[in-house]
């Protein structure tokens, strides 16, 4: 090791290697739990994007000491801190976000992840790691629910029985009892029963163009066309599904319907991680039922395979 590449931790006196050092405003986090569920995209790398929680091991300059040792939820991407959006005070819309590499190319869980503390959310005691890994997805759903003003709308449909769709159905039904979840896998959409949420098989419902709001979570190739067949004139479609740059599924007929019937289509890219944690801490979102398989250890290859399997809804990896 060349001289000068090691530094000393002021509180412990131990030498810190470069990959465990945090830069200004940054933290180094040791992941303790991973969540995986299948999103759109044919390739493994794009279809399964791990979400993670962990413990802050070291902090950089300008970070309050109280952050050290805290259990935190991590976002999928960190803002760059240098683009027009970041400098303009809207880092959530960073133009060059950096994906947090919680899993390596070789399917190994990272031992250390670098992220700005401003992008992290502390997990309170009542939100354990198993629930905390859902904070990113719950945050998106909470954000979407706020943007859609669901209260008082007679007909609201959530499309999709994946982990995201089931979280959306839970959160949105608390704001509007008419929310129903449509899916293709009875063993998953029937979980709605325990939360008091209406549910049906997608093929059993009429396409009557009568829904005020359709929240698309499924990511299926035909989902936008299905959403336009369900939504009323001047209705809203929210594209909440997990998005991937490789996903090009817009059917031209659906686009035409959006134009002709003046539908509002709302894209929902992210949310405030802290809002996701608060929703979990409030006890209004139940996540244990969404976990259908769990693994132990840093080699996450098997977990990715399970997450890609249609038999599984959400897969956890215990790293602690
Ligand atoms: Zn940026």
Choices 3.40.50.300, 3.90.180.10, 3.40.50.2300, 3.20.20.210: CATH for 7-134+287-318: 3.90.180.10
Residue 11 pLDDT exceeds 80: no
Residue 269 pLDDT exceeds 60: yes
- Residue 14 Cα to ligand 1 midpoint, Å, equals 34
Q: What is the mean pLDDT of residues 140-166?
A: 94
Q: What is the mean pLDDT of residues 24-50?
A: 85
CA distance 294 to 307: 10
Q: What pLDDT score was predicted for residue 122? A: 98
Could you tell me the CA-to-CA distances from 291 to 34, 70, 194, 252, 315 in Å, in that order? 12, 24, 15, 36, 6
Q: 85 near 95, Cβ under 8 Å?
A: yes
Q: What is the mean pLDDT of residues 207-216?
A: 95
* Lowest-confidence segment of 152-161, 199-208, 252-261, 270-279 by average pLDDT: 252-261
Q: What is the mean pLDDT of residues 52-62?
A: 96
Average pLDDT of every residue of the chain:
89
Q: What is the mean pLDDT of residues 78-90?
A: 91
CA distance 88 to 236: 29
**Which position has the higher pLDDT, 267 or 191?**
191
- Residue 237 Cα to ligand 1 midpoint, Å, equals 28
CA distance 95 to 83: 6
Domain with CATH 3.40.50.720 in the chain: 137-267
How would residue 5 be classed by pLDDT, with cut points 50, 70 and 90?
Answer: low
How would residue 246 be classed by pLDDT, with cut points 50, 70 and 90?
Answer: very low
- Residue 153 Cα to ligand 1 midpoint, Å, equals 36
Q: What is the mean pLDDT of residues 299-306?
A: 92
- Residue 28 Cα to ligand 1 midpoint, Å, equals 20
Count the helix, strand and coil residues of the chain and give each as a percent rounded to the nearest 5: 30, 25, 40
- Residue 87 Cα to ligand 1 midpoint, Å, equals 7
- Residue 27 Cα to ligand 1 midpoint, Å, equals 18
- Residue 283 Cα to ligand 1 midpoint, Å, equals 33
Q: 269 near 243, Cβ under 8 Å?
A: yes
What is the 8-class DSSP label of residue 104? Answer: -
Mutual angle of helices 135-148 and 163-173, in 10-degree steps? 50
Q: What is the mean pLDDT of residues 204-210?
A: 94
Domain with CATH 3.90.180.10 in the chain: 7-134+287-318
Residue 230 pLDDT exceeds 80: yes
- Residue 111 Cα to ligand 1 midpoint, Å, equals 25
Beta strands 113-116 and 51-59, pairing class: unpaired
**Which position has the higher pLDDT, 101 or 69?**
69
Residue 249 pLDDT exceeds 60: no
| pLDDT digits 0-9 by tens, 190-199 | 999 999 999 9
Of 93, 94, 110, 92, which Cα lies nearest the Cα of 102?
Answer: 110
> Is CATH 3.30.70.270 what the domain over 137-267 is classified as, yes or no?
no
- Residue 33 Cα to ligand 1 midpoint, Å, equals 27
Residue 267 pLDDT exceeds 80: yes
CA distance 30 to 114: 9
How would residue 21 be classed by pLDDT, with cut points 50, 70 and 90?
Answer: confident
Of 134, 148, 108, which Cα lies nearest the Cα of 300?
Answer: 108
- Residue 269 Cα to ligand 1 midpoint, Å, equals 15
- Residue 274 Cα to ligand 1 midpoint, Å, equals 20
What protein residues have CB closer than 5 angstroms to ion ligand 1? 79-80, 83, 86, 94
Q: What is the mean pLDDT of residues 251-256?
A: 71
Q: What pLDDT score was predicted for residue 1? A: 40
**Which position has the higher pLDDT, 257 or 33?**
33
Q: Per DSSP, which regions of 71-218 are E strands?
A: 71-73, 77-78, 98-99, 113-116, 121-122, 156-159, 180-183, 198-201, 211-216
Q: What is the mean pLDDT of residues 265-275?
A: 87
Q: Per DSSP, which regions of the chain are E strands?
A: 7-8, 15-16, 26-36, 51-59, 71-73, 77-78, 98-99, 113-116, 121-122, 156-159, 180-183, 198-201, 211-216, 231-239, 264-267, 291-296, 314-318
- Residue 205 Cα to ligand 1 midpoint, Å, equals 43
Q: What pLDDT score was predicted for residue 247? A: 45
Residue 245 pLDDT exceeds 50: no
């Amino acid at each position: 090791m060349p001289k000068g590449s090691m530094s000393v931790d002021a509180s412990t006196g131990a030498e810190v290697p470069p990959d465990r050092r945090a830069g200004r405003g940054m933290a180094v986090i040791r992941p303790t739990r991973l969540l995986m569920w299948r999103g759109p995209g044919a390739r493994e790398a794009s279809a399964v994007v791990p979400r993670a929680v962990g413990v802050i091991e070291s902090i950089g300059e300008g970070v309050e000491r109280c952050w050290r040792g805290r259990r935190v939820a991590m976002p999928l991407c960190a803002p760059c801190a240098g683009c027009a959006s970041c400098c303009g005070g809207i880092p959530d819309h960073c133009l060059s976000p950096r994906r947090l590499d919680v899993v390596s190319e070789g399917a190994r869980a990272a031992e250390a992840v670098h992220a700005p503390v401003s992008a992290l959310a502390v997990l309170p005691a009542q939100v354990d790691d198993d629930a905390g890994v859902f904070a990113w997805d719950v945050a998106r759903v909470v954000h979407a629910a706020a943007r859609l003003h669901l209260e008082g709308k007679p007909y609201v449909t959530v499309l999709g029985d994946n982990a995201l769709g089931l979280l959306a159905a839970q959160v949105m039904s608390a704001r509007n009892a008419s929310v129903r979840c449509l899916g293709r896998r009875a063993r998953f959409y029937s979980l709605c029963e325990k939360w008091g949420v209406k549910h049906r098989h997608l093929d059993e419902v009429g396409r009557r163009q009568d829904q005020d709001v359709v929240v698309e979570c499924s990511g299926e190739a035909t989902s936008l066309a299905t959403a336009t067949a369900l939504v009323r004139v001047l209705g809203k479609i929210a594209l909440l599904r997990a998005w991937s740059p490789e996903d090009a599924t817009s059917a031209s007929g659906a686009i035409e319907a959006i134009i002709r019937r003046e539908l509002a289509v709302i894209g929902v890219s992210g949310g405030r991680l802290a809002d996701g944690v608060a929703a979990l801490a409030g006890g209004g979102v139940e996540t244990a039922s969404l976990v259908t398989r769990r693994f132990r250890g840093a080699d996450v290859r098997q977990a990715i395979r399970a997450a890609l399997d249609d038999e599984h809804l959400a897969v956890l990896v215990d790293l602690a």
